[in-house]
Structure 1
Amino acid sequence: MTLKGLLKRDGYVFLREYMKHLTTEEFLRHFKESEGLEQASNIHKLVPAKMKDSTPNTYSGQYGYNDFPMHTDLAHWARPPRYILLRCIKGCSSVSTKLLDGNELVCELGKRRLERTLVKPRRPINGEIPLMRVFQSGTPSLFRWDNSFIIPASPAGKDGVFSIKLKIEEADTKHVYLHQKADSLVIDNWRMLHGRSKITDGYEDRIIERVYLEDKICH
């Protein structure tokens, strides 16, 4: 099965020590040619940081070395990035990337209910506060969630957000460990919620490179 086929089936793909002889830049060029996934952001190094050393509008600024909650990257954008690539530079066997399938939440809570769940960014974006649906049906569909950066925008939104919070608390999450150099994880950001487990003592120097990807055929 192709990588896109696996993404469609599972919502994520874990590639163990994948093409470790390539730099991330070279790896991205390969992805574009072989998988039709092209780079849509700069390469950003994710390094654990204490709350006091970070700004409040980041997850490190809110949670520091503690668990990062389940979320969609840039859920407060009208169109969040389609895919996320996480590539291990310096890994850790005791820190995981947590994954939760948004399709399961949609199935349990119902499409119509979630389509009525209107949310808005906690802060204006370019001077505006757009209204967005937590769930948008389509091919593909889009499920967005971030308890830190989006808030309810209607009575139905409050009900939907409360229900989502409860379901996430009850849900079983998958854990993927980016441990070895070049361990790579591709996540469907329109489907899967992700988070990070607590940074354990001695692994404050963990380094993961993150890049957003788009489908150059469908985009």
Structure 2
Amino acid sequence: MSNRVKIFQTSENSFLKLAQTLGRPISSRRNSPIIDIITPKRKEDAHPQSISKKIGLGRLPYHTDGAYFKIPPRYILLRCKEVGENQVPTQIVDVMRFATKDELFELGFRTWKVSSRGGTFYSPILNKNILRYDLNIMQPYSKLDDNTSIIKNIIKRTSPIEITWEAGKTILLDNWACLHARPEVSENSINRILQRIMIL
């Protein structure tokens, strides 16, 4: 287990209290609650601007959360409220642990365009040791700036940490260092419910 991924058991009440000890909890969207409810969604049921609108119940690719913030959240807390009928694990890769020095340099060198609700801004994938990666809202500034192959190579040669969920299980994820993903979800597992808090 990476030292950037920690596991806890929390209740509904202690989940938010834990977040408050780690930093400043923030809302993922304007005027939304601090605790997000995350469930697999069919394309037709998803928010128009969400990645679920594109992939539906298909595999959710590796990403960091809150990449649309100028400063992405440092930590992500995820808590399982309902497992669902079939297990849908969360997969995690510690990029900062397994990337080489040359790869880290290259990730900080190329420019990407990031789409946010406040407009567009530009950033490398790695900026001052802060990892930002979400291909749903990011695209390379030019073909020469497309260094996704580095991320793909790191994922390919790494055995991901796989979190199997049970009610109350909570993970703390260093969002500046790690990517996370979710495999394809079957129709009878759309009742899986995770709670999420972003922390600065």
Could you tell me the TM-score, scaled by structure 2's length?
0.84
- What secondary structure sits across from 2:188 in the alignment? coil
Answer whether contact 2:40 2:190 (CA < 8 A) is retained: yes
Give the share of equivalent positions with the same residue, in percent. Answer: 23
| Largest Rg, 1 or 2 | 1
Partner of 2:155: 168
Q: How does 1:62-81 map to 2 (within 5 A)?
A: 62-81=54-73
TM-superposed deviation, 1:142: 0.8
| Runs of at least 5 residues in structure 1 that lack an aligned partner in the other structure | 1-5, 215-219
Please give the per-residue CA displacement for 1:91-123, whole angstroms capped at 9, x wherever unaligned: 1462101101111453265232121121112x4
Give the whole-Å Cα distance in 2 for the aligned partners of 1:129 and 1:36.
29
Deviations 1:5-44 (A, max 9, x none): x9xx6211122xx133xx24x4322543xx4434222111
Higher helix share: 1
State whether structure 2 residue 174 is matched by structure 1 residue 188: yes
Cα gap change, 1:46/1:154 in structure 2, threshold over 3 Å: closer, same or farther? same
> How has the CA–CA distance of structure 1 residues 111 and 167 changed in structure 2, closer, same or farther, with 3 Å as cutoff?
closer
Please point out which of 108, 118, 124 is paired with 1:133: 124
Separation (CA, whole Å) in 2 of partners of 1:54 and 1:118: 30
- Is 1:102 matched with 2:90? no
Given that 2:58 and 2:184 are in contact with CA atoms closer than 8 Å, whether structure 1 keeps it comes out as: yes
CA contact (8 A) 2:68 2:137 kept: yes
- Corresponding residue to 2:10 among 19, 22, 37: 19
By how many angstroms is 1:184 displaced? 0.4
Three-state SS of the structure 2 residue aligned to 1:45 is strand
Quote the Cα distance in structure 1 between the aligned partners of 2:10 and 2:104: 39
Distance 2:191 2:180 in 1: 21
Alignment of 1:50 with 2:42, yes or no, is yes
* CA separation of 1:178 and 1:136: change in aligned 2, threshold 3 A: same
**Is 2:113 the partner of 1:120?**
yes
Report the CA distance shift for 1:136/1:48 in structure 2 as closer, same or farther (over 3 A): same
- Give the superposition deviation at 1:67: 1.3
Q: TM-score, normalised by structure 1?
A: 0.77
Kept in 1, the 8 Å contact 2:80–2:195? The answer is yes
Query: Matched residue of 2:149: which SS?
Result: helix
CA distance in 2, matches of 1:90, 1:64: 19
Answer 1 or 2: which has greater strand percent.
Answer: 2
